[in-house]
C-alpha cells in the first residue's frame, strides 16, 4: 500500500523553548522521508487565548522546520478553542499536492501519545496509537480517554509492555514494540571528547506531579530521583551538569546542588531550540540522568529519546534503569543503574576506557535505534511501501533547502551532517 503518513503530535508548537521535544517528532519525519514515504508532521496547537502568541508559536514552528529543510512538510492544526476541538483550521507553509483533509482521508496517522483528537484522527484511513510514554499511557488509560480501543494499530516504545514480568495493563489490545528512533545522519558521531557529563531535564512535572491509579501512587517529578544521587559529583570526581528548569526562587535546591558539586544551567538557554539542543548534547562528555519515579515503578522497558541522541553522537550514557536493560546487550557505551553505588561504578567504568565507550555507544545506536533499522519494520507492520518513483535512500531534505541543513561544522566545531538515510 502506498499512502501518505502523518506523524501527529501536540507537544511541540505550544512549547517553543523546548529543543528536545522537537527532535522526538523530527526523527520520524526525516526517517520516513528518507525511506521514500510521503510523510508530514501534523502538529496540534490548542489556542492559548492569545491569538498573537499563537501566531508567534506557529511561526517559530515553521522556522525550526525550515532549518532542517522540512518546512514544506509541516501542517499545524490550529484549534482556537480547546473546548471545541472540531472547529480547527489547517496552517501550512507551502502548497501541498492536495488539501490536508483529503490527504488525511487516504493516509496513515502515527498518533504520538494520542495527540490528535477524535474529530480529526477519525478522518484517517489507518489510525496508529503510537505510545511514547510507555507504562504511564496504559495506566492513564484505565481512568481517562487515551485513545485505546479507538485506533486500528497499537505501537509502544516500551519493550516490556505485554510481557509477563511487566505489570502494566495491556487493556485488551496487542502492543507492537519498537525502539525509539534516531536519524543518524542528523546526529553524526563526534570525534573530539566532550567537556562534562550532562543531561536536559524537567525538575518538576509541568502538568501534575502525582497520579493515584487503582490505589497506587505514581510520582512524575524527576527532582525526587536526582536528590537520591545528589553526592554523585563528589563521589566520582567528575563534572556533572544539569540543564534543568530550577527557578531562581528554589534557593534550597540550587544551594544543595551547588554544594554537592553540580553545575546548573537553564535548559532554555542551552537547548531552547533544536539546533542548540543538538549542540549541547554533542558537546557533552556523556549523559548522566535519572528517570521519573513513576517510570521506574512501572518499569515498561523504556529508554529516553534523549539518551539515544547521546549514543548516536558517540557519547556514552549512564542512566537510571526502567526495564530497557533487560532488552539490550551489555556495553561500555550504555550503562543502567539502580543505586548510587551502581551509578558511580558505571561512570568510573566509562572513564576507564572512554574511547571504547564512545565507539560502543555509536554502535548501539546504529544496531538498535537507527531509523534505518526501525522504520522498515514499522512500514512492514503497516503494509506501507514508498511512493511510486521514490528512491529508498534518497536525501531526507529537498535540494533547495540543503544549505540550511548540511553545514559541516557549527560555531563550536561540532560536525553536522543531516542528509541521507539512516
> How many distinct structural domains can be found in the chain?
2
pLDDT at 259: 97
- Whether residue 43 lies inside any domain: the answer is yes
Residues of the chain with pLDDT > 90: what percent? 84
Q: CA quadruple 266, 270, 273, 279: dihedral positive or negative?
A: negative
- Whether residue 141 lies inside any domain: the answer is yes
164 and 105, same structural domain?
A: yes
Residues of the chain with pLDDT > 70: what percent? 91
Give per-residue pLDDT as tens, 176-188.
999 999 999 999 9
Give per-residue pLDDT as tens, 112-150.
999 999 999 999 999 999 999 999 999 999 999 999 999
247 and 164, same structural domain?
A: no
pLDDT at 161: 97
DSSP secondary structure of 191-232? -SPPSSEEEEE-SS-SS-SEEEETTEEEE--HHHHHHHTTTH
262 and 190, same structural domain?
A: yes
214 and 103, same structural domain?
A: no
Rounded CA separation 89/179 (Å) = 33
Is residue 83 within 8 Å of 105, Cβ to Cβ?
Answer: no
Give per-residue pLDDT as tens, 351-365.
999 999 999 999 999
155 and 196, same structural domain?
A: no
- Whether residue 232 lies inside any domain: the answer is yes
348 and 382, same structural domain?
A: no
Looking up cell 538557554 gives 269
- Whether residue 24 lies inside any domain: the answer is yes
284 and 153, same structural domain?
A: no
Is residue 284 within 8 Å of 195, Cβ to Cβ?
Answer: yes
113 and 194, same structural domain?
A: no
262 and 205, same structural domain?
A: yes
| Confidence grade of residue 211 (pLDDT, cut at 50, 70, 90) | confident
- Whether residue 96 lies inside any domain: the answer is yes
Number of H helices and number of E strands within the chain? 16, 16
Helix (H) or strand (E) holding 371: helix 371-382
Give per-residue pLDDT as tens, 214-266.
888 899 999 999 999 999 999 999 999 999 999 999 999 999 999 999 999 99
Q: Any idea what the CATH number is for the domain that residue 340 is in?
A: 3.40.50.2000
pLDDT at 215: 86
Based on the number of CB atoms within 10 Å of its own CB, is 329 exposed (0-12), middle (13-18) or buried (19 or more)? exposed
263: cell is 553545575
110 and 248, same structural domain?
A: no
165 and 51, same structural domain?
A: yes
| Confidence grade of residue 207 (pLDDT, cut at 50, 70, 90) | low
- Whether residue 422 lies inside any domain: the answer is no
Residue-number span of the structural domain to which 261 is assigned = 185-366
Tell me phi and psi for residue 287, to 5 degrees.
Answer: -110, 130
pLDDT at 205: 83
164 and 226, same structural domain?
A: no
Amino acid at each position: 500500500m502506498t499512502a501518505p503518513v502523518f506523524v501527529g503530535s501536540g507537544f511541540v508548537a505550544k512549547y517553543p523553548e523546548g529543543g528536545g521535544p522537537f527532535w522526538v517528532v523530527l526523527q520520524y519525519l526525516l526517517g520516513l522521508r528518507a525511506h521514500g514515504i510521503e510523510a508530514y508532521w501534523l502538529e496540534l496547537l490548542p489556542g492559548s487565548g492569545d491569538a498573537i502568541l499563537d501566531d508567534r508559536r506557529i511561526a517559530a514552528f515553521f522556522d525550526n522546520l525550515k532549518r532542517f529543510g522540512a518546512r514544506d512538510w509541516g501542517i499545524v492544526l490550529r484549534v482556537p478553542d480547546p473546548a471545541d476541538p472540531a472547529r480547527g483550521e489547517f496552517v501550512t507553509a507551502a502548497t501541498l499536492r492536495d488539501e490536508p483533509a483529503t490527504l488525511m482521508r487516504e493516509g496513515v496517522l502515527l498518533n504520538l501519545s494520542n495527540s490528535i483528537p477524535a474529530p480529526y484522527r477519525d478522518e484517517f484511513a489507518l489510525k496508529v496509537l503510537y505510545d511514547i510514554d510507555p507504562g504511564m499511557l496504559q495506566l492513564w488509560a484505565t481512568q481517562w480517554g487515551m485513545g485505546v480501543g479507538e485506533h486500528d494499530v497499537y505501537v509502544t516504545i516500551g519493550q516490556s509492555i505485554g510481557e509477563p514480568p511487566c505489570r502494566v495493563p495491556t487493556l485488551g489490545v496487542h502492543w507492537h514494540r519498537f525502539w525509539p528512533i534516531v536519524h543518524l545522519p542528523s546526529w553524526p558521531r563526534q570525534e573530539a571528547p566532550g567537556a562534562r557529563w550532562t543531561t536536559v531535564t524537567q525538575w518538576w512535572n509541568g502538568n501534575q506531579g502525582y497520579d493515584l491509579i487503582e490505589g497506587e501512587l505514581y510520582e512524575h517529578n524527576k527532582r525526587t530521583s536526582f536528590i537520591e544521587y545528589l553526592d554523585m559529583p563528589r563521589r566520582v570526581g567528575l563534572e556533572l551538569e544539569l540543564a534543568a528548569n530550577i527557578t531562581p526562587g528554589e534557593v534550597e535546591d540550587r544551594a544543595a546542588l551547588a554544594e554537592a558539586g553540580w553545575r546548573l544551567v537553564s535548559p532554555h538557554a542551552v537547548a531552547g531550540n533544536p539546533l542548540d539542543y543538538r549542540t549541547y548534547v554533542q558537546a557533552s562528555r556523556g549523559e548522566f540522568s535519572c528517570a521519573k519515579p513513576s517510570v521506574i515503578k512501572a518499569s515498561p522497558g523504556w529508554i529516553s529519546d534523549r539518551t539515544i541522541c547521546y549514543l548516536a553522537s558517540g557519547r556514552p550514557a549512564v542512566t537510571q534503569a526502567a526495564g530497557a536493560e533487560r532488552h539490550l546487550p551489555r556495553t561500555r557505551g550504555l550503562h543502567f543503574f539502580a543505586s548510587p553505588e551502581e551509578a558511580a561504578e558505571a561512570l568510573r567504568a566509562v572513564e576507564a576506557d572512554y574511547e571504547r565507550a564512545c565507539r560502543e555507544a555509536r554502535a548501539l545506536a546504529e544496531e538498535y535505534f537507527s531509523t534505518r533499522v526501525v522504520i522498515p519494520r514499522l512500514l512492514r507492520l503497516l503494509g506501507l511501501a514508498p511512493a511510486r518513483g521514490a528512491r529508498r535512500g534518497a536525501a531526507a531534505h529537498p535540494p533547495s533547502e540543503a544549505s540550511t541543513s548540511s553545514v559541516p561544522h557549527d560555531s563550536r566545531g561540532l560536525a553536522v551532517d543531516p542528509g541521507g538515510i539512516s
